[in-house]
Amino acid sequence: MNEPTTRAAKRAATAERIRKAAQAEFGERGLEATTVRAIAQRAGVDPSLVIQHYGSKAALFAVAIELDDGAVDDIEQHLFDVLDVRLDEPPPETRALVRSMLTAPEATAAMKAFLDERTRNLARASDAPDAELRAGLAVAGILGLTVARHFLKLDALTRISAEDIRAVVRPWLVETLKVDGDGPTAP
């Protein structure tokens, strides 16, 4: 890998190292237990650089937990893709957000905004009168599965293969989004 040569490139590389270190720390310890010093140590920088780049631990947390919300053309396939991702070990930014969402107002707000947007996007893909409710249930189901499998480590969900869980959850997702035998359609 090429080392950055310009001052701006070096600064960007340092900021990215700090962000990745923060994701790992927040994911392992949550917002409250993570320190700027621990993030700096993991990133291999002085703690003052963490503050210089991000301003505060809370501001860094907000950047570290940003989740991808790319466009979706095929809603059903998108939900299956999300399910597949959630059955695997969550990435650091997801671990950080989920671990902290009930104790840190910043994480609560970020998770709510992210899931509200996911719900709205999913509901827009249907003309059902209760599309928002159905979309909310699908989103909540996947969130619940993520928490139960990876954080609570529920026996029933950790002893079984991801493929066996998919076999049960995929039809449930499709059925949740169906109205009069019609599945969701792309926007």
Residues 48 and 82 in one domain: no
Residues 25 and 104 in one domain: no
If you average pLDDT over each of 11-15, 174-178, 181-185, which comes out highest?
11-15
Cβ neighbors of 48 (< 8 A, separation 6 or more) are none
Q: What's the pLDDT at 130?
A: 92
Cβ neighbors of 35 (< 8 A, separation 6 or more) are 57
Residues 99 and 14 in one domain: no
Report the CATH number that the domain containing residue 12 is assigned in CATH: 1.10.10.60
Strand partners of residue 179: 182
Q: Which residue has the tokens 């002085």?
A: 46
**Number of folded domains that form the chain:** 2
Asked whether residue 101 is assigned to any structural domain, the reply reads yes
Ramachandran bin of 84, using left for φ above 0, alpha for ψ from -120 to 50, beta for the remaining angles: alpha
Asked whether residue 182 is assigned to any structural domain, the reply reads no
Of residues 181 and 137, more confidence is placed in: 137
Domain that holds residue 41: 7-64
> What pTM was estimated for this model as a whole?
0.64
